[in-house]
Amino acid sequence: MKLIKHPWLFLLLSFAITIAVKIPHLGLPFFNDETFSYYPAILEMAKTGPGMMPGILPIILSKGHPLFFYFLASLWVKYIAGNSIALTHVFPLLIALFALFVFHRFAKRHTNIVLANIAVVLLSVKTMFLAQASLLLPEIFLFCLFMLCFDAYLSGNYKLYALFGSLMMLTKETGAVFIMVFGISYLIENYRNIKTRKFWMEITMLAIPVFVYGIFLILHYSRFGVFFFSEHLDYITVERFKVLYKSKSAFSTLFLKHGRNIVFFSGIIALSYLLIRRKAIEYKRFLILSLFILISFFIFTILNFYIYRYVFPVMGIMLLASLALVQQVKTKYQIINIGYIAIIVAVSGYYTATKRGQSDADLGYVQFLKVHKQMVEYCEQQGWYDQEFGAGYNMVMSMRDNFAGYLNTDKNFRMHHLPGIKDRNFIMYDSTCWPYEMPKEERDKLELVKRFQYKKHWGEIYKVRE
């Protein structure tokens, strides 16, 4: 077990895993929110000049988000990547490697080197991390800033906390959840010192991210007449059915899917054992704060717009906290301890290698991008530029937006979103579409032209019968 205490070997291993998996994916086309939201905004900022002031981008491109991620990415695109999709995807890959370093450093400082080594390798084989590691999306970057902020808070370095907390708030609104938890935690831990100068100096530093974000909102309102993007406000709901659905999905995605259930439930069992036996619990401050963060983040998630990748910023602390509890009940038999580590890493690796979903939350996107590419190339070969197409969300952007990387010429196609076949010549349906996008009564009016298949994903082109 001496090897597992090596200070940097396992961090390098996590780097190697990430790079080996992601290099073949760097040149893949943009898709989903990359094409719909982030890359168009970043490309526009790169053209007009990188900046972080509200108004530098039209609100339809920025979606009302703070602009720090856009700013950094636009600098990369403007001065390094240019129009290269592969070089553009190097930017999130570098962020992913930095995230592993920050996570390992945090775990080493606030638990121990063994847990840090296990946790960083475990995170590096998680399919959601590997999927996001080359996508031009902000969740891994938000995770980096959150871990830096968490580290600064636990270390009592409130100047660094003010810096990283402000950058986190300027990256995505979700950061407010973490800032709120840290602020409440400080008040609970230090309320007895409320009359001291030190208390007010530190609480002021803790409040700086709030002030920074408040200034951003004021500037945003002065430029656009609204504090937030109205479409996003429409996603906030307390409707019972939607909240229940998001609760089940978010809980499953964060705690249960792709082998995380083994780590989570073993952590629960370990905690129960420690409490029943009334044993002292190590890393108590980190564990309590992690619990509050997870609960607060979960509530925030289920009340707002939700997609799978949104839970990633707290996945690392869920894994680390669970492992920190399990380690405290480890047996004296090294083969059992090693066996547990091998199982949780192997199970995660198995799911990463085999499970293929329909979103950017796992590596399944690699397969359906290749299917989409084949479908686009087929339509180009047929010269169907004057035809009307109906297609799902991803295929519409693949056939319509030249910058996405599917089209081989400057020409694009006439695209419309499903459902609906009226005034359409062709319908494109694929494994990323929702069932409601192709009702049976419409499918019966279609004639299959060609089917495409790559491993677990498929696509079909139909001709609409006269």
> What pLDDT does 236 receive?
77
Q: Give 226-238 pLDDT, tens digit per residue.
A: 988 877 777 777 7
Q: Which two tokens stand for residue 129?
A: 């991390």
Backbone angles phi, psi at 245, to 5 degrees: -60, -45
For the chain, the distance separating the N- and C-terminal CA atoms, rounded to the nearest angstrom, is 71
Helix (H) or strand (E) holding 44: helix 39-48
- Give strand pairing partners of 451: 460
b/e per residue 358-389 (b: at least 16 CB within 10 A): bbbbbbbbbbbbbbbbbbbeebbeeebeeebb
Task: Decide if 82 contacts 100 (C-beta within 8 A).
Answer: no
pLDDT computed for residue 330 by the predictor: 72
Residue-wise pLDDT tens digits, 301-346: 988 888 899 999 999 999 999 999 999 987 677 788 889 999 999 9
Distance CA 414, CA 175 (A): 39
Q: Are 400 and 412 within 8 A, CB to CB?
A: yes
105 exposure class (CB count in 10 Å sphere: 0-12, 13-18, 19+): middle
**Cα–Cα distance measured from residue 255 to residue 250, given in angstroms and rounded to the nearest whole number:** 8
- The answer to whether the pTM exceeds 0.85 is yes
Residues 6+ apart with CB under 8 A from 185: 153, 289, 292
Residue 233: per-residue pLDDT: 73
For the segment 262-316, what is each residue's pLDDT rounded down to a tens digit?
A: 999 999 999 999 999 999 999 999 999 999 999 999 999 988 888 899 999 999 9
459 phi/psi in degrees, rounded to 5: -150, 150
Q: 242: part of which helix (H) or strand (E)?
A: helix 240-251
Q: Is the separation of the CB atoms in 148 and 132 below 8 Å?
A: no
Written as tens digits, the pLDDT of the chain (466 aa) is 678 889 999 999 999 999 999 999 999 999 999 999 999 999 999 999 999 999 899 999 999 999 999 999 999 999 999 999 999 999 999 999 999 999 999 999 999 999 999 999 999 999 999 999 999 999 999 999 999 999 999 999 999 999 999 999 999 999 999 999 999 999 999 999 999 999 999 999 999 999 999 999 999 999 999 988 877 777 777 788 889 999 999 999 999 999 999 999 999 999 999 999 999 999 999 999 999 999 999 999 988 888 899 999 999 999 999 999 999 987 677 788 889 999 999 999 999 998 888 788 999 999 999 999 999 999 999 999 999 999 999 999 999 999 999 999 999 999 999 999 999 999 999 999 988 888 888 888 999 999 999 988 999 999 998 7
Q: How far apart are CA 420 and CA 347, in angstroms?
A: 42
Taking the CA atoms of 459, 42, 126 and 16 in sequence, report the sign of the dihedral they define: positive
**What's the pLDDT score for residue 1?**
61
At 369, which amino acid appears?
L
| Predicted local distance difference test score (pLDDT) of residue 258 | 92
- Give the neighbor-by-neighbor strand order of the sheet with 414-417: 414-417, 388-391, 426-430, 457-464, 446-454
Q: What 3-state class would DSSP assign to 248?
A: helix
Residue 231 CB neighbours (<10 A): 12
Residue boundaries of the structural domains of the chain? 3-354, 364-464
How far apart are the C-alpha atoms of 322 and 261, rounded to whole Å? 10
Grouping H, G, I as helix, E, B as strand and the rest as coil, residue 429 is: strand
